[in-house]
Structure 1
Amino acid sequence: MTPEAKARQEIDQKLEQAGWVVQDLKKINLGAGPGVVVREYPTDTGPADYLLFVDRQPVGVIEAKPDNTILTFVEDQTERYARSTLKWRITSTPLRFLFESTGQVIHFTDGADPSARAREIFYFFKPEQLAEWLQQPESFRRRLKAQMPELPTRNLRDCQISAVTGLEKSLAQNRPRALVHMATGAGKTFTAITSVYRLLKYGDAKRILFLVDTRNLGKQAHQEFMAYTPPDDARKFTELYNVQRLNGPTIDPAAKVCISTIQRMYSLLSGEPIDESAEDVPLDQIVQTDKQAKVVRYNPAVPVETFDVIIIDECHRSIYNLWKQVLDYFDAFLVGLTATPDKRTFGFFNENIVAEYTYEQSVADGVNVGYDVFEIETEITKKGAELKAKEWVDHRDRQTRKKRWAEAEEDLLYTGKELDRSVVNISQIRKVIQAMKTAVETQIFPSRNETPKTLIFAKTDSHADDIIQIVREVYNQGNAFCKKVTYKAEEDPDSILASFRNDYNPRIAVTVDMIATGTDVKPLEVLLFMRDVRSKGYYEQMKGRGVRSLDHDALKRVSNSADSAKSRFVLIDAVGVEKSLKTESRPLEKKPSVPLKDLMLGVAMGHRDEDTVLSLANRLVRLAKQLDDKALARIEKRSGGLTVGALGKTLITAIDPDRVVAAAIATAKEKGITRTEETLTEEELTAARAQCVAAACAPFDSPELRDEIEAARREQEQVIDHINLDQVTFSGYSAQAEEQAQKVIQSFADYIAQHKDEIQALSFFYQQPYQRRTLTFEMIEELHDALSRPPLMLTTERLWNAYARVKGSQVTGADTKRQLTDLVALVRFAIGLDTELKPFRDQVDRRFQEWIFRHNAKRTTAFSTEQTEWLRLMKDHIASSCSIARDDFEYAEFAAKGGLQRVWGLFGTELDGVMTEMNEELVA
């Protein structure tokens, strides 16, 4: 069978599964079904491979090509057939639907779209779908460009207006992926529902999927849809459109919005039974196993055209690895929502950021509040401890928590990281809780009569139970005072969460993961971290639980002694979590020990560094929430019409990089010079920043204004004794060597960013659909060749040494000889896929051990000694070449042991499957 014949065989099969009747020309019967496909249909420019008929009318054409054909090269051929004169056809109107396919890959172009262009689809559309499209006056993409009216802005924040309009502009341009980056608390879901409503009403979208990764987020989203009232209709959203929260295997055909976890949708498309407990855990915390890794298959009950748009909530954690297949499957626009994007997120959404609203901007606008960091450190947390053999201690079962009193069998030296996992030190927990209580009552919120609403992050459910018992003891309170809110809580976690949010008790909640992300508890004012977090994005989400602003009346309902609106929250770090991570959203308060009056006098005297400006801005924004109307009015009068909050926001805006660039360009234009962001000089940017900051600081030249603000502060502001956190400023290489290493790393990062689409090895890490990922030695050679040539001269050895100097403890293997495949590890580390840089061989060794252990566990008999020896040889080959194939057994290391003949004798027909598994598992 020729390659093209194989492709046609697969095309026939896929068409039939999608509901088409496939016929030869000699046996044509257009009445055989609603959709008929005729092979080799004659036209005046030659026979078309496939002609599509819907309700007896020709509507489209398929050009079939053998596998590995680049389909964009044959689009002209498809269009030629679509415009040709068809034999026996009465009219000569060009056919609308154009397909190219190799059987494995399908491209589709809708001729009715504006600036019609091809897109890849997972499977062929059903004939009923093409019939529906033909009956519509305009295609969906044309409606998005022509029919979306101006957005009513009533009840919308500026950031929400920007997000909706930015998204609609992106959709009108037919850009397949868009990212909405909005700070926690800015109303991402409300913004998304506003867009959904407009897409349904004005864009006449067929159906929209709202994709989440936990049931809790799905429940919250459903509640927000039910509560949403559009600006042009008095009815609720759910009175206008059916919203289905998917809990089973069937999508309601009447539903216009479907809310589903990505796990459930994956189950629907892969045929893998769903583990409902997995819907309770964020996807970035799920360890994927062989059992889970099923390939998504075509499901006629859920065809690829089911949704026009997919909105992905918390997209920074839910769309990678095997879950990405769900998004590859549907022919839909993809819209991501996140407060904490990482490099992977930006890459997946093609760097099409339609809205960007940062944490700092949200604080300046009063949408969120700033935070302070308070540190608690104990001796055992920092250094661990030692238990001597023969000492009598409790031993507790992790699951049942049943205890036995017995001697320690041997000396046990444990570190702080092992606490509450393998070792529990009750004294350590008690010291932290007691220190928190003392700090809150005497330093952080000294004027409060009740404990502020506090959330404690624990390591495990067992750790959470220990914390709860000690909190109740230290605070001398009953059960209602402190509750556990996790998926394993004995009480209904939703009812506990509702009480924590709205009632006096519980004052303190302890969680592991349930309310670590995506759950609003606006009265929260204290977050205590008793677990470290390695994921930057997850940590930012956890911090986001405390950022929500709240007015005085609402805060007073649950914390009666609160004397102002919520103006900040305090992060208490008991495990060094702030030091172990570099976070994107940082405390705006950079100089907590400097009095407000000194900050104001400092800017008046010319201190315009970023720390001083940001600290003053944060104090003013915070003060605006605390002052009464009379004090606010006095300050506004002194400032010439600017409110306290506006003074703070102006300072933050003045050092915003985008605003500085715009000011520099405008200044150059006034001088008759044309500048772009890329052509601005450092001198012009520095001058523009100085100009912006000077204008923002000008009001503080007035001593009357400074005195008025200071007088108001003395009347209202509490004195808070902050803990000044220290950090290592230098360790290791000289400043000059480190600076050079930084330049090497930056050159590498810039090259990856500029060439990620054109170099195959880089494309592997960004855009390849899940089922076509491959990485070859030739691709790595190509990348290495490009990097090592002048002017870059970025050899693998040089890059590794640079990272070792700059990143220190994050890099291992600096003293070992480099392999070409170490470039894989360098790229993964540079784009943020790995948090540690380890030699590629070490990574392959680790993955091999995990793979062979799982594989042996599944087999009735484990691999034999000789089979294992060959697997290790194959593993070593992958470590040096990125893959293993049959031809590779001709190499000396294999040939000396019998080559392909011997390995086939050992593995038989399992060999190809084993090689495929190893290629996928070891080079992931």
Structure 2
Amino acid sequence: MELSETDVETKIIIPALKKAGWDIKTQIKQQTPLTDGRIVVRGNMTARGPKKFADIVLYHKANIPLACIEVKKQKFAVGKGMQQALGYLECRELLDVPFAFSTNGKSFLCHDKTLSSGKLETELTIDQFPSPQDLWAKYKAHKGIADEAADIVEQDYYDDGSGKAPRYYQSLAINKTVEAIANAQDRILLVMATGTGKTYTAFQIIWRLWKSKTKKRILFLADRNILVDQTKQQDFSPFGDKMTKIQKRMVDKSYEIYLSLYQAATGSEEEKKIFKQFSPDFFDLIIIDECHRGSASEASAWREILDHFSSATHIGLTATPKETKDVSNIAYFGDPIYTYSLKQGINDGFLAPYKVIKFDLDKDLEGFTPEEGQLDKNGNLIEQRTYNQRDFDHTLVLEQRTELVAQKVVEYLKQTNPFDKTIIFCQDIDHAERMRQAIANACPDRMFENSRYVMRITGDSPEGKAELDNFIHPEERYPVIATTSKLMTTGVDAKTCKLIVLDQRIQSMTEFKQIIGRGTRVNEEFGKRYFTIMDFKKATELFYDPKFDGIPEQIIDGETWTPTGETPDDDSTVEIEGEDIPVDDLDWEEDETGTDDGEDTGGNSGEGRTKYYVNNVAVEVVGRRIEYLDADNNLITESLEDYTRKSVMKQFASLDDFLKRWNEAEKKSAIIEELTAQGIILDALRAEIPNGESMGAFDLICHVAYGQPPLTRRERAENVKKRNYFARYEDKARAVLEGLLDKYADQGLNTLEDRRVLQLHPLNSFGSPVEIIRDVFGGKDNYAHAIIELEQEIFKQG
């Protein structure tokens, strides 16, 4: 009897592994989840592509995977699953293990990257599967882990009993870091996209090194109070009373885990530099969060901390490593030991994809030239020249432009959800305040309900900063809209932010990535699967730059790509309402002029230069387009109908090719899942096609891709009945199949392939699903065969 894939796994492979010495509870993990399935967005609809699983993963301990096994049916050759298994190891690095096995239940094909047997691939009998001790010894040799370092590597993760475990990429980052430290590497760079859990990853690294006593006193450095406080209260909370936050002018050397602002450890006067009160060898591990900031600059005061504790291991964390002629993360930390990019996060379904709505405003395209002798609303003579998008809200303000942007934001929220969390990035503090006023005027009804509907959250506003926690808290409704300049660029874990508005001229790739990162969190509980970017300043053109999702090049002889307007690092901070803010975080003018806090607050925008305010010039939208991500993470502007046609024909060159695949598929839903993964959401497509709601997936695809005249689901069902197809079945079986056909006509294909439909009326009148399959059809194989034949009859051509 031919065994299914599941039977091969449970009846042959698992017993063989146990016989070889593998523990079923701690070392063997079946159907190991690797990814969540890419989220695809079209219109306001989303769908998830298929998740990725490994059939079996073998572990030395719970935190160290050694091998993966791909299981196939007995009818296939033993190597059938090898390329799939290798995909987990190499192509996507889902598992950083040296061993991959493919099996059909008759033998194993072993792919051994350690070459311990002298061959890369070797066939083994079922009884020859290697023991845990054998694979662990080869693993250590392959990774260069000495016996004395093994205790460090073997230290378990922190486990709170909730079942939470690091995702695959977090495990890779943690294990690579711990193994590097075990091998005496002391400068390490981890690059992980915003929203992928850098702090949680850092916690697990520290936990394993701390529990193994490899590192006894650890310093975690960040540059925002909110980052330090969130870290202490959330991810680092298991350290309990072993942990403290360094305050200004306070040193207590009895703790083991220290968290600190850079600014709390440095000052302009030597005696205020708290870190000097610690001996140079006090800390043996320092984690530098957001290390693309001041710590990367040799001239930075923050760098003094690292230089003082130079004997410690330094780990830099960032989503956006910085590489300019003055600043280089790679020069200090070395090449990243592990990188997990925004593109990877979106492909895996752990990060939210985005759609972009671009606006072209007439004055942005045409420019504005004042009349000779024209005064602004404050009586200032406007310099006679043509002002363009580069100037607006920087040197000249068109107040009706601000009002138009606010109007479009409010219109979008009314069409979607007026309470979707929104961040509007403005040119400076003055612009953020004017935008707040414009939003308030555009939706007075919301402001009457709660005056905190829109708030300015900037470095100079204690009222706004006091509401930051409420803005980022998923269960707090207000504030809904935050207008800001720089303060919310980083350090804001806005899990439910669904709309990012760009009305700020952005030319720094580092800053652009940080801003986009405010929307990348996925929060299924609160319906956050994607986010929208409204772009009024052509900032999203940076998406098309090849550097967007890659690692910046390291400087070679002082030459590398450096975007115009990249803010220079500075070693100073400024105090705004009692909080030290790094100058690097503030809103620098391009000529580095402005007020003392680095942000233009209105009126004078620099010594000898006036910002003009013009309130009587109309501004209009002359162009609007929506862009979506395709399967390769490229932004596309074509309609979903055109995209579907191109994507389907790329996979199936002709209608005959598609029909062949459709008819051969055991489950038609598998084809629909493949199309979804390519960015085709059929429900969204139906909304674009006349009468699309009545079409089944088959007719929708054939009509859009190949121009075939479509039939509705109801018409296809009636054709089956006219052909008297059910006459071959006994009464009860015929009644069940007729009921399933009616369900297809009403609800579509999925009802046929989901056995839970048998629980619905009137099908449940014939018994439970188990009873129907067993008693009416004579078993699951006969039932599955009947469904396949019914589908063939439904989709019969001609």
TM normalised by structure 2 equals 0.50
More helix by share: 1
Q: Which structure exhibits the higher relative contact order, with contacts defined as CA atoms closer than 8 Å and separated by 6 or more residues? A: 2
